[in-house]
Structure 1
Amino acid sequence: MTIIAAILVALVAVEHIYILILEMFMWTTPRALKAFGTSKAFAEESKSLAANQGLYNGFLAAGLFWGLFHPDAAVGHQIQLFFLCCVLVAAIYGGVTAKKSILTVQGLPALVALAFVLAT
């Protein structure tokens, strides 16, 4: 169970690194436009805001990796719980205020990972 939980936490972290890359470096590319359902004009106007969002996603990923690799397993476990809850809150807020698919794309993996971390 512990290995599965760690794999799931790592997947959530990697997903947030991918989001960081999309928002910080690829915001105006066709891939990001499609992923976020934005227009080229909107993307150009909101570049700096998207980069800021991407940075926050990077902090979520960093926190999850910190929890995975912390030398004290008990502390790492608590860090993972905290950052998975942060991802869930962000997904719920984003799903309610921006795009419902955020609940599935970001919230569901975090919820599953959280359930496995709690079970360990």
Structure 2
Amino acid sequence: MHIVAQIFIALVCLIHVYIFLLETVLFKKRGAKVFGIPQAEVESRAVAMSNQGCYNGFLAVALLLALVVPDPSIAKAFATYGLACVAVAGIWGAATVMVRILYIQTVPAVLGLTALFLL
């Protein structure tokens, strides 16, 4: 796997580890502020955000596996799956929550997919 692809995979993985932490462990203190959730709604949204955070954690694990699995074809499969899921989730998030998600999630994932298949 080309080093540029690995850099994008690692970047997207780190972004999703951060999102996982914001939506689970850090939601009530830091996550709610980052996501712009009013203090009055934090408690009622905490469980749903934690669930959503788990999915972001699963994406991070797929991308981490892409970086550590020694078999190149299996690593590429994990990278393709993880980056494609992040790209689609980012498009959906941009359409339903805030456009900024497109730039935070989708753009790096698409750049990673491009590097994975063109380099």
Whole-Å separation in 2 of the counterparts to 1:22 and 1:87: 17
Per-residue deviation at 1:106?
A: 0.9
After TM superposition, list the pairs within 5 Å mapping 1:1-120 onto structure 2: 2-29=2-29, 31-120=30-119
Query: Taking structure 1 as the reference length, what is the TM-score of the superposition?
Result: 0.93
Counterpart CA distance in 1 for 2:53 and 2:101 is 15
> What is the alpha-carbon distance in structure 2 between the residues aligned to residue 87 and residue 116 of structure 1?
15
- Alpha-carbon distance between aligned partners in 1 of 2:95 and 2:41, rounded to the nearest angstrom: 21
Q: Distance in 2 between matches of 1:58 and 1:85?
A: 15
Q: TM-score, normalised by structure 2?
A: 0.94
Aligned length: 119
What CA distance in whole angstroms lies between the structure 1 residues aligned with 2:98 and 2:118? 30
* CA RMSD between the two structures: 1.3
How big is each residue's C-alpha offset from its partner over 1:22-64, in whole Å with a ceiling of 9 and x where there is no partner?
00011121x3233211111212111000000111000000001
Identity %: 38
Runs of 4+ in 1 over 4 A off after TM superposition: none
